[in-house]
Amino acid sequence: MPPDSINLEIVTVRCLADNYAFVLHNSATGQTALVDAPEAGPVQAELDARGWTLSDIILTHHHWDHIDGLEPLRNDGVRVIGAAADAHRLPALDLAVNDGDRFDLCGEKAQVFDVSGHTINHIAVFVPAAKAVFTADSLMALGCGRLFEGTPAQMWRSLQKLRELPDDTMVYSGHEYTENNAKFALSIEPDNPDIISRVRATIAARAKGEATVPSRLADEKRTNPYLRADDPVLMSALGMLNDSPTEVFAEVRNRKDNF
């Protein structure tokens, strides 16, 4: 439980084949929020087991594996939150938000970031008191989402926003892709000791069936190649010391797409 928010608990819910949803609960206020709704069954089972009732559902983006479970979980008391600019392809919203907006979430302040790249108008939500950022398919553990709609420049700008958050922020991303991402990172920098260590830890965790999400932002800053497109060490490994960070990011993303 985060030390700066002793009443706020965050529970990871495994959904579908490799998705994660996250349930936030404030024991003082009784409020409960859900970040993304891949499917209703596992989420409802978690709520029932804990005796919690949803008050809010945040939708980070419009892809089916983040919204298909919404309607069975929606009731008259649930506020559905999503990007105003993406309202035309999201389920009906009760609170439409924009980049930089702040709103109350389970008794805490939450901040919205536009993190376009994987999709246009994808949002992330930062809860400072919980030291948590919910990034879905933008920043991921040792990775980032494939660019289905956005450009490398857009995604690089989005990742730079998230990189500016405090090192002790926990990154709650939307999928269990870490082992594959780790192997790819090692293919670029096979002698990087931080990456070697993280690959070993990731493989060991997955062998035991443990989740590798959330991850600590400080670890992402050291080992995630997509966050390090302006790092001379990575640039040198790619033979791109004279290229722009956007070009380096694009090369990393292209290599991963073909990995």
The share of the chain scoring above pLDDT 70, in percent, equals 98
At residue 6, the pLDDT reads: 63
- State residue 191 phi and psi, 5-degree precision: -105, 5
Q: Whose CA is closest to 227, among 163, 155, 135, 148?
A: 163
For the segment 50-69, the average pLDDT, to the nearest whole number, is 97
Lookup: tokens for 101: 């907006």
At residue 27, the pLDDT reads: 93
Angle between helices 152-163 and 245-257 (to 10 degrees): 110
Q: Which residue is listed with tokens 């980032």?
A: 144
Cβ burial of 169 (10 Å; 0-12, 13-18, 19+) is buried
Element containing residue 213 per DSSP (H, E):
none
Whether 4 has a pLDDT exceeding 50, the answer reads no
User: What angle is formed at CA 64 by the lines to CA 61 and CA 69, rounded to 5 degrees?
Assistant: 100
Under the banding of pLDDT at 50, 70 and 90, the label for residue 2 is very low
At residue 75, the pLDDT reads: 87
DSSP for 98-112, written as a single string: -TT-EEEETTEEEEE
Tens digit of each residue's pLDDT (9 = 90 or more) over 105-149:
999 999 999 999 999 999 999 999 999 999 999 999 999 999 999
Q: Whose CA is closest to 135, among 166, 104, 158?
A: 158
At residue 7, the pLDDT reads: 81
For the segment 170-180, the average pLDDT, to the nearest whole number, is 97
The predicted model scores a pTM of: 0.96
Under the banding of pLDDT at 50, 70 and 90, the label for residue 64 is very high
Task: List the chain domain ranges.
Answer: 8-257
For the segment 77-98, the average pLDDT, to the nearest whole number, is 97
Half-sphere exposure of 202 (CA within 13 A, CB side): 25
Helix, strand or coil, per DSSP, at residue 58: strand
At residue 5, the pLDDT reads: 53
Query: What kind of fold does domain 8-257 have according to CATH?
Result: Metallo-beta-lactamase; Chain A (3.60.15)
Tens digit of each residue's pLDDT (9 = 90 or more) over 193-221:
999 999 999 999 999 999 999 999 999 99
Give the separation between CA 176 and CA 20, rounded to whole angstroms: 7
Half-sphere exposure of 255 (CA within 13 A, CB side): 19
Terminus-to-terminus CA distance in the chain, angstroms? 37
Lookup: tokens for 162: 């998230």
Cβ burial of 224 (10 Å; 0-12, 13-18, 19+) is buried
The share of the chain scoring above pLDDT 90, in percent, equals 96
For the segment 15-21, the average pLDDT, to the nearest whole number, is 97
